[in-house]
Structure 1
């Protein structure tokens, strides 16, 4: 016999998702600074995308495993919360170690160490991410689902704003150095990662202690499922072959909506991966006027000493990437406030499609501004002098932010209503394939395209991202949203 899942207050919904603020804080620091760190440690532009493959591969491996395990976990600490907390602790350790690759040079090459810690951080972020998605589905009733995922999107973007601008703040307000010699990491980036680890743990602990998950008997009753029957099924031990067979069976029998969303996810995450990897070299070259050769380790080794002007330009551009990443996250946070209302009024598919179209326009906007005249910009916390084109990048970031907010919320809001309750976690984990696979494809080919087709001029790879996001927008038309058709 089923019973109604209780409505949650606004603050209960808020607490369920609050830990996402810290997880995304750390993820934003990684997205805005890993290319910068790896470049300082000796990576060339072609290999940057290969290093970034660690992230989607970790997601591909970890999320389905964690999703399946959390579906079967019931103990005094909860169902999803043990995984969320464990992932946060491991990610915090990785964030402390990442900027210290140079210290371990006597034992391991700094770039290799950086890649290993990147793998640790990404695996850990994924251990937390997937159970958080499922926690919202577990706790929030269907009528509040748009609200739940919109609040999640809002908190994600608040964390992303703060995490993205932190190195800039530490340089321009606190006074830490933002340049680094080859093989080292700038002090502003190092301390930003330390602070990020602290915020990550603190916010996750808030969710863990302020959210009480439904006990098994209530959880299954809300979905009209016999708890004892599920318990007996879960007690049955299966061989590895049997587990794999069941997993691939689930892959084949996944809801039609998930298959259709996979196409949208492919094009949108292909574009996002390119932006995260290549925004730093793109604006350093296109707006700060640094030639592509200064990103070539062989050339840097040949010249011996890098001119201070190049180091300063790279440092300033790297900081500005954090600012524009914070800007798109801020715009996403603002849009998240109205996202659920727009989706309720006009339909999730229309809002989702138009949001992705705005993102495509945003990527195309990267190339629209090339005024290199220096201007003084008041950022409230400090003033800086940057090229006019850098300031103009705030305009395309509006579109990128709108698309990011929708990507974080709309696929999950559409998908949640089509998933069987007893397997929500494992299906959410499988759905992560639609996030990881396009990033892997992008990582394998975008570096080659950049070097072979675009002659290492990174601005053109951003244009390719715009084309991909445009395809994502069109693909939404073919998605079936069961709830909107009822």
Structure 2
């Protein structure tokens, strides 16, 4: 797949094929997001412990995605390319995890399977983001990420509808003895695992990739030499060490404050405020970033500057300005989405269906209805993504994203205003449009500001700004819901609405650095 000159544009069918695997990936993610809290509660977890049980998912993403991004940048197989080997291995592992998850005999097994499942899905997903940046010219990248967004929405529709369809159309049992997963959920995971593997294999065997030499030639033709604009910040060992010490001290202070607030001698001004032990995780995260910098200081002193670890850390500190601006947008956008995923099921079942017992029929009906509303939300997201494809070259992407996020904020707020479960489709409109935008537009903007040879690692590093809000959501949302809203899970949507507004405001400060006016060739032209 070798071309000279500028990177040629691909046909609609080629963009379809290269994005199709995301259909299966999102089926896996949506089954995880829509049903794992339900499985945890069925196996005995209470609402207050859900957030900490979800820690596994973001922790795996935080570790896996930068590593996979770095490795895929360095991989080249004449037969499978640089990204597709990771698609295939991740899909095989994720499908196996989906088959095992609904058969977990105990809560600790389910929590462990969430870790494995999320790691496998991340192995598959991370290179898909770089895949679009590798294969499409700047002028088609918004279209490419919008197509991924379309398949994300479509896959989520399929996954979200599966338990409801099997209950109401196929007559499978939606209830089970206490401590057992309903038949509908188990079969949804089996079908989802098979669909994930099939969709990813379609992309693996129907697409090709440019070699590193081709990509270097395209970069040169666009007026940028390989590595142009990317100058790693060569922080000294002393700078890494001092930064590490500061972050470790900050983590220790947070841990000490949590211990003080939870101890017998807690300050009187805290009153009835409950300080959960999950906040120790926040302290560990802060200190952990300090430890990473101390390790980097040691590597720098030893002259091990060419190691993979140092390359990732240096790239983290050398992020382009546009990427730093997008990081703020991503933080608040994804914090809102994790509020929805973690507390959506317990919030709706309690607030709209009046059920908190996971073994009750009312709870299971509410969980199925919320899963179906997820399909509505994601169907609207798929439709919105098609709209992005049509207007991709005609509108300012940052302003469009800000508008979409404000619509999402309105949708989050409407979850408390709509009491009739039959009308819950209304808030899904705004949330669906925002979701389509979140998984498309930031990546299109990012792909235009990073060098081709660093596409994988920067897409992996960019995931940090998804994972960090997820970790904070898992540690802080329980604290907020418990102390600000008396444990009522539905009010997590209020927090989500505020977070979406902040994300929209941050988007207006982003400078879209994509190259303009690069010549576009059709496939096959030289």
Tell me how far 1:47 sits from its aligned partner.
1.0
Number of residue pairs matched?
435
Other-structure match for 1:98: 101
| Unaligned runs of at least 5 residues, structure 1 | 103-109, 228-237, 296-305, 371-388
| Distance in 2 of aligned mates of 1:434 and 1:181 | 40
Other-structure match for 1:356: 405
Write the mapping of 1:107-256 to structure 2, written as runs, cut at 5 A. Answer: 110-224=106-220, 242-256=307-321
Other-structure match for 1:347: 396
Asked if 1:62 corresponds to 2:64, the answer is yes
| Distance in 2 of aligned mates of 1:274 and 1:369 | 18
Asked if 1:277 corresponds to 2:342, the answer is yes
Other-structure match for 1:386: none
* C-alpha contact 1:40 1:181 (8 A) present in aligned 2: no
Asked if 1:458 corresponds to 2:489, the answer is yes
**Residue 83 of structure 2 is aligned with which of 80, 83, 89?**
80
- Secondary structure of the structure 2 residue equivalent to 1:145: helix
Other-structure match for 1:287: 352
Tell me how far 1:485 sits from its aligned partner.
8.1
Between 1:118-127 and 1:134-143, the stretch displaced more is: 134-143
Question: What is the CA deviation profile of residues 336-364 of structure 1, one whole-angstrom value per residue up to 9, with x for unaligned ones?
Answer: 11113334322101110000000000000
Classify 1:406/1:249 alpha carbon distance in 2 versus 1 (closer, same or farther; 3 Å).
Answer: same
Other-structure match for 2:422: 391
Tell me how far 1:263 sits from its aligned partner.
0.7
Asked if 1:322 corresponds to 2:371, the answer is yes
| Distance in 1 of aligned mates of 2:481 and 2:56 | 19
TM-score normalised per structure 2: 0.80
- Secondary structure of the structure 1 residue equivalent to 2:9: coil
- Secondary structure of the structure 2 residue equivalent to 1:18: helix
- CA-atom RMSD, angstroms? 1.8
- Secondary structure of the structure 2 residue equivalent to 1:483: coil
**Residue 436 of structure 1 is aligned with which of 467, 476, 488?**
467
| Distance in 2 of aligned mates of 1:113 and 1:18 | 32
TM-score normalised per structure 1: 0.87
Asked if 1:479 corresponds to 2:510, the answer is yes
| Distance in 2 of aligned mates of 1:148 and 1:244 | 30
| Unaligned runs of at least 5 residues, structure 2 | 227-302, 518-526
* C-alpha contact 2:4 2:214 (8 A) present in aligned 1: no
Tell me how far 1:244 sits from its aligned partner.
2.7
Tell me how far 1:54 sits from its aligned partner.
1.3
